[in-house]
Amino acid sequence: MNTSLTEESPALTSAREQNTSEIVAKNIYKSYGAGPFAKEVVSDCSFTIESNKLTVMIGPSGCGKSTLIQLIAGFEATDSGEITLNGSPITDPGKDRLVLFQESALFPWMTTYDNIMYGPRARGEDTKDAADQAEFLLNKVGLDAFRDKYPQQLSGGMQRRAELARAMINKPEVMILDEPFRGLDNMSKELMWEYYAGLYEEDRNTNFFVTTDIDEAIFLADRLLIMTNLPTSTRSVIEIDIPRPRTIEEVVNSARANEIKKEVMTLLHEEAMKSFSGGSKAAADFLDAYSKRAD
C-alpha cells in the first residue's frame, strides 16, 4: 500500500471534523409493478448508516441492495416507511449524497485531472484550493503521472481510482458506492481496497458501500449489514473490530477476520438456500463456492 495514504490534508481534515451525517431507514417497503404483477423487493427493512463510519451492506445477489441505494440516494421513493438524513426525510436527490456506480462515469473527452476537477468547475469553484485538492488526490490514488491521460488510456483499476478522486473532491456528506470494484481482476481489486480504505481513513466521512464479496466487506467495513433473501430486510449487524489502518496481509492472517468470515458465510448460506429453492442461479453459484471453501 502506498504510504502516502497516511498523510493528512488540512481541507479533508476540516471536512471530517464538520461532517456528522447519519442515515436511518425505518420499516421501509418497496415494490415494483401493480396488482397481481407487483413484486416486493424491500420488506420492513430498518438499519442505520452511522456517522463517520464505513458501513458495508452484503447480501445474496439480486436481493434488493441496489434498490436500497436508489432509495437512499433519493432517486426513488419508498412505498412506506421513512429514510432520514440527520433527522430530515430523504425525498429527492441532493448534493449531500454522492453515488459511485459499477459503471465508469468518467468523461472520455477529459483528462484524468480535468475529470477530477469537473465538480468544482461545474459549481464555479475553480479555485486554488480546489486545484490543491485535485493535486493532493491525484497523488493519493497514485495517478499523478497519468494526469494528462484520457480514460481510454487508463486501465480499469486506474479509472476506478480516478472516479474515487473525482467523488472525494466534492466532499459529500455521505458517499454511496454500489459494487464499484466489480469486474476487476483479483490483484486490481485488492489494490483498490487499499486505495479506497486509505482515502476513507483520511477523512472518515460517512460511507455506505454495497458488495457481494465477503472478503471485500470484512476488509473495508466498520459495520457490516447482512441482508436477507428477496424481499430484503436486515438479518444481522456485525461490528468489525479490526484496528485501522489495515493491510490485506494483516486481515488475511487475522483470527478475528476469519471468525467474522465464518459467521457471515453461515448467514449468507442460509439466505442462499432460501433463494436456491426458488431457482436462483446466483444462489446456486454461491452454494457451489461455499461447498468448496477451505475449512
CATH number at residue 195: 3.40.50.300
DSSP per position, 23-67: EEEEEEEEEES-GGG-EEEEEEEEEEE-TTSEEEEE-STTSSHHH
The owner of cell 440527520 is 86
Q: Which of 5-9, 89-93, 189-193, 290-294 has the lowest mean pLDDT?
A: 5-9
Handedness of CA 195, 102, 158, 214 (dihedral sign): positive
Query: Is 167 a domain residue?
Result: no
Query: Is 140 a domain residue?
Result: no
Query: Is 54 a domain residue?
Result: yes
Query: Is 152 a domain residue?
Result: no
Q: Is 45 left (phi over 0), alpha (psi -120 to 50) or beta?
A: beta
- 203-212 pLDDT per residue, tens: 899 999 999 9
Would strands 97-100 and 88-89 be described as parallel, antiparallel, or unpaired? unpaired
Query: Is 83 a domain residue?
Result: yes
Task: Say what the pLDDT of residue 5 is.
Answer: 39
Query: Is 229 a domain residue?
Result: yes
**What is the side-by-side strand order in the sheet with 223-227?**
97-100, 174-178, 206-211, 54-58, 223-227, 234-239
CA distance 289 to 60: 13
Neighbours of 19 (CB within 10 A): 18
Task: Say what the pLDDT of residue 101 is.
Answer: 87
Query: Is 108 a domain residue?
Result: no
Task: Say what the pLDDT of residue 93 is.
Answer: 94
Task: Say what the pLDDT of residue 203 is.
Answer: 84
Query: Is 200 a domain residue?
Result: yes
CA distance 172 to 114: 19
- Name the pLDDT band for 19 (thresholds 50, 70, 90): low
- 80-134 pLDDT per residue, tens: 999 999 999 999 999 899 999 877 789 999 999 999 999 999 999 988 999 999 9
Domain of 254 in residue numbering reads as 3-96+172-291
Number of domains in the chain: 1
